[in-house]
Structure 1
Amino acid sequence: MIKRKGEKIMGIISIVLNVIGIGFGALMLSMDQSFYNQINEVLQEEGETLPIETLEAGVNAFGIQFMVVSAIAAVLTLVGVIFLKTDRRAVISGILFLVSAVTLLIGTVGLAFVPMILLIVIGLMSLIRKPKADAYTSEYPS
């Protein structure tokens, strides 16, 4: 039996970071009109303009996407941490961690890179670390 304390701690840290990501998505949804006006002013300095409605719709859509993807990753990570209780399920939890990392990579366009890197490390640790074989097993009669 391998003690997987490091994987569990990093998994909990990743869950907390994903919950913070959900809050970031909610913050994007709560932006007021002055925020969009400032973005439009910056775009006008660059020589481009966008209608405020289009800009607002894009930011709102990305905020919702960020919230949903972070929530999915948090749930997958939580299930993976729960599966780490036994060595037989370590492979399943490693796969769940890697799926969660890929979900964060694609869904947040790489903006959630800290929990993504943590999940890749945890996933590889869960897949690679194997229990040591005992020298004295009951397979061979003494």
Structure 2
Amino acid sequence: MSRTTEMILGILGGLIGFGGAFMALFMGAVDEAVSGSTELNGLGTSAFLFSALAIVGSIVVKFKAKLGGWLMLISGVAILISISLFGVVPALFLIPAGLMGVIRKPKAQNIAA
């Protein structure tokens, strides 16, 4: 079964997640310079790692749909928790793609002999 939709949504979500992670890292650097807090840097780093996991999941979904779907679903929720406002758009791509990978069933093939 072709899982092109899940793969494209996963790659888009991962790439946009990288953008959100870089924005969070930038804001974390500004926050560290102003107040000395490094909390946002850790959250940006975790979002960066989960974005990479989302891209891996979008590649895996072509071969093992359930595993790739779970990777994208976990990544979407984790990015949303890590960098809340910057993670909304990647989560809107990753969570439906993950659900499609987990729930969608292959079409039955009718073989007429």
Q: Which one is further off, 68-77 or 104-113?
A: 104-113
1:21–1:66 CA contact under 8 A, matched in 2 = no
Supply the distance in 2 between the matched residues of 1:108 and 1:22 (Cα, whole angstroms). Answer: 7
Q: Percent identity?
A: 30
Mapping 1:1-142, distance limit 5 Å: 2-31=1-30, 36=34, 56-58=35-37, 60-62=38-40, 64-86=41-63, 89-109=64-84, 111-136=86-111
**Where in structure 2 are there 5+ consecutive unaligned residues?**
none
| Structure holding more helix per residue | 2
Give 1:83 shift. 0.8
Q: How far apart are the structure 2 equivalents of 1:75 and 1:111?
A: 16
Q: 1:127 to 1:32 in 2, by over 3 A?
A: closer
- CA RMSD of the aligned region, Å? 2.4
Q: Looking at CA atoms only, which structure, 1 or 2, has the larger radius of gyration?
A: 1
1:80 partner amino acid:
G
- Sort the Cα spacing of 1:125 and 1:99 in 2 relative to 1 into closer, same or farther, 3 A: same
TM-score, scaled relative to structure 2: 0.83
TM-score, with length taken from structure 1? 0.68
Contact 1:65 1:108 in 2 (8 A): no
Paired residues in the alignment total: 113
CA distance in 2, matches of 1:111, 1:24: 8
